[in-house]
Amino acid sequence: MALTKEKLISRLQTQVGLSKVDSRAVMEEVLKIIKETLASGEDLLISGFGKFSVRHKNARRGRNPQTKENLILRERKVVVFKTSGVLRNRINQVS
Amino acid sequence: MNKSQLIEALAKQENLTLKKAELVVNALFENMAEALVRKERIEIRGFGSFKVKHYNGYKGRNPKTGDIIEVGGKKLPFFKVGKDLREMVDREKE
């Protein structure tokens, strides 16, 4: 069972005591701020969780593994995520 | 941008007190972190998804001393960026 946006919204309701409407609004606003920050090329560092950064990729020759067609991948910007040490340790903890 | 700046931006946009905005942001990331600790997937449309992947251990070398060392296996979250965010980030600046 995946954690979805809907579930996060209902957790905000119970944990922070916001109405359903307000929970949804703040959830959407947080995502909007994060997306606009990354779109502007700025990184986002959430201590205890991880860091989202924008990385520039140079153009390179690639190949479609299905059709075996050669193609050129143009230069582009991508988002990468690096897990914080704290969260990595929590995930790897033997319980 | 760091977490405090995200909290400030949220407070301003949604007319929340800093305290309330801090509760919201902390609750969101703590819920996400707990899901990953439980090895549960996270899927947020338009933003991206997280999945905990297992990486096998391997024999490595200490680059300084040349000693062979055993690197243990580990689990790490993998973030796959969602379509909407991917396109926003890659969009050419006019």
* Confidence at A62, pLDDT banded by 50, 70, 90: confident
Read off the pTM: 0.88
With CB atoms and an 8 Å threshold, state whether A78 touches B13.
no
Note the pLDDT tens digit of each residue in B27-47.
999 999 999 999 999 999 989
- Residue A67 has a pLDDT of 86
Non-local (6+) Cβ contacts of A88 within 8 A are B74, B76
Q: What are the C-alpha distances in Å from A45 to residues A33, A49, A62, B11, B87? A: 13, 8, 32, 18, 21
Nearest-Cα distance to chain A for B78, in Å, is 8
Q: What is the ipTM of this complex?
A: 0.88
Phi, psi of A75, deg, nearest 5: -70, 145
Q: pLDDT grade, residue A40 (50/70/90)?
A: very high
Q: Which residues of B touch A34 (CB under 8 A)?
A: 6, 47
Domain B41-94 fold is HU Protein; Chain A (4.10.520)
Mean pLDDT along residues B18-32:
97
Residue type, A5: K
Q: Among A8, A37, A88, whose Cβ lies nearest the Cβ of B1?
A: A37
